[in-house]
Chains A and B, each alone.
Chain A
């Protein structure tokens, strides 16, 4: 607006420098805090990054289900977090009531313990995945299907209703009870202290050796499982006939019907797969943070959803990357910027990313006014 140098002003406007400068300023501020922290104590910083990584993979597990359902049905499935909760409870009861994690030992007593545990844990996970898938199909049939041709918001409101219902129904004394329940891990935690001098196992209550980074078997399991599930999901969606049908339904439901695809069945399957992922996530989450209660799905669900949006909702690798970013954002801002503001910072990052890339990092440009 300075009349003497019009070209400069025009340039500033055209290249969007003011806005960019503003975002750059914020980014630099955060980066400066993190870099000074890194220089001050590199081991501590690395440890925090590892912490963030573990949290990020936990979010990734939940985010995968969100992003998948959204990608196909365009519904923000608020009940996803509560299906996740049900998954955690189902695995809890199969462990405590039915000892499902040791079934192989009862069948064939001679087997080595490791094999029994791995197969047992996988069985428990399969059971909670199946239970969640069935639950999701029921929810879809009862609450979402009748509204498929109603305004999209109606389904969103029923999703909120389903979410409330699952929570408070689960909280009834004779269902899951309103108590905080300590989760019985099917596997014992082993923490490794990794330092340049080698790897040691951390005993109960001992301080780790100086300059080492802690990493647990739980974190390893979570990271491996979520990578496996992501690859599996990617395979289903991209390589199989069902996946093809899903993508077709996502693109255009009417046309998909004309092509002989049973859109209702495909949508049910989508919900079932998404919920199965939530069931697996519920179990792994409970193993990582061993406490379950009826409300536990809300906050992880919200954060995972944000992660999915951050990565570009509908995109499977996007959900993954978004979740890793969320994990780092939370842990690093808690560690180096401000603990009270850690969620605020995580959400600010979301907003800033959306300003720069309006459909998330991996999101495709919006096709229609949804």
Chain B
């Protein structure tokens, strides 16, 4: 029995190694262009992974319907990267070495994107992360920019600045900040907000952290209520916002809750978040054709409104393919240069990249009002 099991496992492993060895030459120089999508389809946040995958696949499908890029069809290689370093590295190695992919869209989480970016940079593969906000994704530890790595989202400081400006503009002078100690997206936004808010003359009356697994925020919210802050800054994803906002009402918190683009989701609990504000890349009411088309097509295909993750994955994939088209050849070195110099009309705004490969785009502030998300103010970079 044990020998049989042993031999089955051994056989499987050898077979897959052999497969990879044989598969390699056939894959190179085919008549498709392969793009890998690394998404956390398992692990704690598969819902983000599924959105990201769906957004990216829709972009690829649209290009293919238009005849592909450089006269070739685009083939998507989806891998599960679990929002964790090791599986993400394995997934990246797999798509680069086994599938001979030259372009990667992903990962969602910074903690997975950073190790992937090091591999991509070393092997000369263009990587564009839709949603990883940590500066280390595109910047080496010595401060230089990684040539092959880009991102499609804001980096934290800008959104924090926008919301601080907005809060101050609304005449609010005291703020309470809540942040997830284990999420660099939230941490970065919280820090940027605090800095800008204090610099603009506001006071931060309290700062408390929690973890992504927490569901009971009563201790912190009681403190918030007690501090009588005018703003509760909560720059987390919608799932945490739903929980906190619902409990805040029960704890007598009267502060206006504000946050970042993580709020953008059809699953945001509008009743709980009533009266809240958040910064976003675009407004679904935006009349630009590209936005309207995107929302319509996504709804037609997946039967739900796109959230921020789907939108950014869609944009990232489009940016990448547009850069391949602009470069005129299937060569990562040329594509990275094309991407760095690209100006593209994306759903989340007209995007150009700065020297550190972060997109430059303007932000809007949205408000949750009467059970709807409405446009409140536009703030330029």
Direct contact of A and B (CB under 8 A): yes
Among B96-104, B116-124, B140-148, B217-225, the stretch that binds chain A is B217-225
B267/A55 in contact, CB under 8 A: no
Partner of B222 from the list A47, A289, A342 (CB cut-off 8 Å) is A47
CB distance from B53 to the nearest CB of A (A): 11
CB distance from A352 to the nearest CB of B (A): 21
A193 on interface, CB distance cutoff 8 Å: yes
Chain A residues lying within 8 Å of B223, measured Cβ to Cβ, are: 44, 335
B222/A335 in contact, CB under 8 A: yes
A340/B267 in contact, CB under 8 A: no
Chain B residues lying within 8 Å of A295, measured Cβ to Cβ, are: 44
Chain B residues lying within 8 Å of A300, measured Cβ to Cβ, are: 215
Among A72-80, A115-123, A198-206, the stretch that binds chain B is A198-206
B218/A331 in contact, CB under 8 A: yes
A227 on interface, CB distance cutoff 8 Å: no
Q: Which of A183-204 contact B (CB under 8 A)?
A: 189, 191, 193, 202, 204
B85 on interface, CB distance cutoff 8 Å: no
Partner of B243 from the list A177, A191, A291 (CB cut-off 8 Å) is A291
Q: Which of B66-101 contact A (CB under 8 A)?
A: none
B247/A179 in contact, CB under 8 A: no
CB distance from A302 to the nearest CB of B (A): 9
CB distance from A220 to the nearest CB of B (A): 13
A298 on interface, CB distance cutoff 8 Å: yes
CB distance from B222 to the nearest CB of A (A): 5
B238/A180 in contact, CB under 8 A: yes
Measured in the bound complex, the distance between the Cα atoms of B220 and A340 in whole Å is 11
A205/B254 in contact, CB under 8 A: yes
CB distance from A273 to the nearest CB of B (A): 25
Among B9-17, B205-213, B316-324, B332-340, the stretch that binds chain A is B205-213
Q: Which of A135-175 contact B (CB under 8 A)?
A: 168, 171, 173
Chain A residues lying within 8 Å of B274, measured Cβ to Cβ, are: 205
Nearest CB in chain B to that of A45: its residue:
B222
B220/A334 in contact, CB under 8 A: yes
B252/A193 in contact, CB under 8 A: yes
Interface SS majority for chain A:
mixed
CB distance from B2 to the nearest CB of A (A): 15
Chain A residues lying within 8 Å of B267, measured Cβ to Cβ, are: 179-182
Measured in the bound complex, the distance between the Cα atoms of B222 and A331 in whole Å is 10
A299 on interface, CB distance cutoff 8 Å: yes
Nearest CB in chain A to that of B46: its residue:
A178
A214/B251 in contact, CB under 8 A: yes
CB distance from A119 to the nearest CB of B (A): 25
B254/A291 in contact, CB under 8 A: no
B47 on interface, CB distance cutoff 8 Å: yes
Chain B residues lying within 8 Å of A335, measured Cβ to Cβ, are: 219-220, 222-223
A291/B242 in contact, CB under 8 A: yes
A182/B242 in contact, CB under 8 A: yes
A173/B50 in contact, CB under 8 A: yes
CB distance from B229 to the nearest CB of A (A): 12
Interface residues on chain B, size class: 35 or more
Nearest CB in chain A to that of B178: its residue:
A339
B219/A48 in contact, CB under 8 A: yes
Measured in the bound complex, the distance between the Cα atoms of B136 and A316 in whole Å is 50
Measured in the bound complex, the distance between the Cα atoms of B247 and A202 in whole Å is 13
CB distance from B305 to the nearest CB of A (A): 13
B210/A339 in contact, CB under 8 A: yes
A41 on interface, CB distance cutoff 8 Å: yes
Measured in the bound complex, the distance between the Cα atoms of B222 and A41 in whole Å is 12
Chain A residues lying within 8 Å of B219, measured Cβ to Cβ, are: 48, 51-52, 330-332, 334-335, 339, 342
Knowing A181-B267, A182-B242, A207-B254, the reply to whether A55 touches B275 (Cβ < 8 A) is: no
Chain A residues lying within 8 Å of B243, measured Cβ to Cβ, are: 289-291
B269 on interface, CB distance cutoff 8 Å: yes
A-B contact number at CB 8 A: 109
Chain A residues lying within 8 Å of B218, measured Cβ to Cβ, are: 48, 51, 54-55, 331
Knowing A44-B222, A173-B50, A207-B254, the reply to whether A289 touches B208 (Cβ < 8 A) is: no
Q: Which of B224-247 contact A (CB under 8 A)?
A: 225-226, 228, 238-239, 242-243, 246-247
Chain B residues lying within 8 Å of A58, measured Cβ to Cβ, are: 216
Chain B residues lying within 8 Å of A48, measured Cβ to Cβ, are: 218-219, 222
Indicate with 1 or 0, residue by residue over A315-333, a CB within 8 angstroms of chain B CB atoms: 0000000000000001110
Knowing A205-B254, A340-B209, the reply to whether A289 touches B249 (Cβ < 8 A) is: no
Measured in the bound complex, the distance between the Cα atoms of B185 and A112 in whole Å is 49
Measured in the bound complex, the distance between the Cα atoms of B248 and A204 in whole Å is 10
A225 on interface, CB distance cutoff 8 Å: no
A293/B275 in contact, CB under 8 A: no
Measured in the bound complex, the distance between the Cα atoms of B303 and A177 in whole Å is 14
B42 on interface, CB distance cutoff 8 Å: yes
Chain B residues lying within 8 Å of A47, measured Cβ to Cβ, are: 222
Indicate with 1 or 0, residue by residue over B27-69, a CB within 8 angstroms of chain A CB atoms: 0000000000000001010110110000000000000000000
B250/A189 in contact, CB under 8 A: yes
Chain B residues lying within 8 Å of A216, measured Cβ to Cβ, are: 250
Chain A residues lying within 8 Å of B225, measured Cβ to Cβ, are: 207-208
B247/A291 in contact, CB under 8 A: no
CB distance from B198 to the nearest CB of A (A): 20
A343 on interface, CB distance cutoff 8 Å: yes
Q: Which of A282-305 contact B (CB under 8 A)?
A: 285, 289-291, 293-296, 298-300
B181 on interface, CB distance cutoff 8 Å: yes
CB distance from A14 to the nearest CB of B (A): 42
Knowing A181-B267, A182-B269, the reply to whether A206 touches B242 (Cβ < 8 A) is: no
Measured in the bound complex, the distance between the Cα atoms of B46 and A331 in whole Å is 29
CB distance from A40 to the nearest CB of B (A): 11
Measured in the bound complex, the distance between the Cα atoms of B137 and A66 in whole Å is 43
CB distance from A20 to the nearest CB of B (A): 30
A180/B222 in contact, CB under 8 A: no
Give 14 A-B pairs besides A293-B47, A332-B219 with Cβ atoms closer than 8 angstroms: A47-B222, A48-B219, A168-B42, A182-B242, A204-B249, A285-B215, A290-B246, A298-B213, A299-B214, A299-B215, A330-B216, A335-B219, A335-B223, A339-B181
A-B contact pairs, 27 of them (CB 8 A): A44-B226, A51-B218, A51-B222, A55-B216, A171-B42, A180-B47, A180-B238, A180-B239, A182-B242, A182-B269, A191-B250, A191-B252, A204-B249, A205-B254, A205-B275, A207-B228, A208-B252, A289-B246, A289-B247, A290-B246, A291-B243, A295-B44, A299-B215, A331-B216, A334-B208, A339-B209, A339-B220
Give B contacts to A, CB under 8 Å: 42, 44, 46-47, 49-50, 181, 208-211, 213-216, 218-220, 222-223, 225-226, 228, 238-239, 242-243, 246-247, 249-252, 254, 267, 269, 274-275
For the complex of A and B, the 9 pairs showing the least CB-CB separation, nearest first, are A178-B46, A51-B218, A180-B239, A334-B219, A208-B252, A289-B215, A299-B213, A178-B47, A331-B219
